[in-house]
Structure 1
Amino acid sequence: MTLIDLARVGPGSHVTLHYRLARPDGEDIVSTFDERPATLLLGAGQLAPTLEEMMIGMKAGDHSVFRLTPEQGFGPRNPELIQRVKLSTLRENSMVGEDFSPGDLVEFNAPGGGRYAGVLKEVGETSALFDFNHPLAGQELVFEVQIIGII
């Protein structure tokens, strides 16, 4: 047995892997299984911390499938994140001159800098209704991972 055989995924590991995030019905959200594998540095924010934690202790050749609750994924849906935005505010803080339709993901300039995004639900005469929850919030997910190599 060599040191490479003993290598396991840990904090700070460079990991070459295939991964897939999918809905419970099997619909892929993202997958590298039909492409080149990804190489990630654990702890660098390239993958959600919960997903990184699930890989801790795995070794090259391991292949696992994890079911994630909404809390383990993108959190539960928060009804307080469904908010009305004045159309004047929308025009001032989003892309100028764009026409938006329900279902569109709209990015805003945040007060004090930065950006945030919400899904447009409806447009009224003076305001628009947005859902600022992550689009995958409240959903169960499936995380599949195959470890190819660990550096």
Structure 2
Amino acid sequence: MKELPVDKGTRVKLHFSLRMDDGDVIDSTFDKEPATLEIGDGNLPESFESLLMNMTAGDHDTFEVPPEKAFGQRNPNNLQTFKRHEFSADMVLEPGVVISFADASQSELPGVVVRVEGDEVEVDFNHPLAGRTLTFEVEILDVEPAKPTH
């Protein structure tokens, strides 16, 4: 029986690691339980899922993922300046602090404080991995139909 290839409608058990271009590991399952996902369930960004297509159990590969296919380029419009009084008085505001904001649809939107100067607080709403080329390593352990057939 031919090994089932990764495609829409499959459940995939895999090990993966995501590293920055300098080698720093962002996330990895190689030293713990493997991940299981259904292709198209949103657990893995579509651009990463597309790299898995047609792989079969036993395949092991490494991909360079440019910013456009990962978390996008940094957008200067995602830097916003607020006034200090817009934050609660007891809030610690210093570079590197992550603050949760609500966007127009009341979804949570994290921002990172990049600069505090006088009454100005500059917050970066770019994804922390925006603008980075990432290395995505994957080892496919098992591929099966997502819905068991009776």
TM-score (norm 2): 0.89
C-alpha distance after superposition, 1:73-117 (max 9, x if no partner):
1111111111102333333xxxx8432321111111234422111
Paired position in structure 1 for 2:103: 110
- Distance 1:112-1:35 versus aligned 2 partners, 3 A rule: closer
Distance 1:58 1:89 in 2: 51
Unaligned residue ranges in structure 2 (runs of 5+):
145-150
- How many residues are aligned here? 144
Match of 2:68, SS state, is coil
Q: Does 1:134 align with 2:135?
A: no
5 Å matches for 1:80-119?
80-91=77-88, 97-119=90-112
Paired position in structure 2 for 1:64: 61
Distance 2:93 2:142 in 1: 45
Match of 1:106, SS state, is strand
The amino acid across from 2:70 in the alignment is: G
TM-score (norm 1): 0.88
Judge conservation of contact 2:3–2:57 (CA < 8 Å) in 1: no
Distance 1:61 1:47 in 2: 20
Paired position in structure 2 for 1:149: 142
Unaligned residue ranges in structure 1 (runs of 5+):
none
Q: Does 1:18 align with 2:15?
A: yes
Distance 2:82 2:38 in 1: 39
C-alpha distance after superposition, 1:29-51 (max 9, x if no partner):
00000111111111111011111
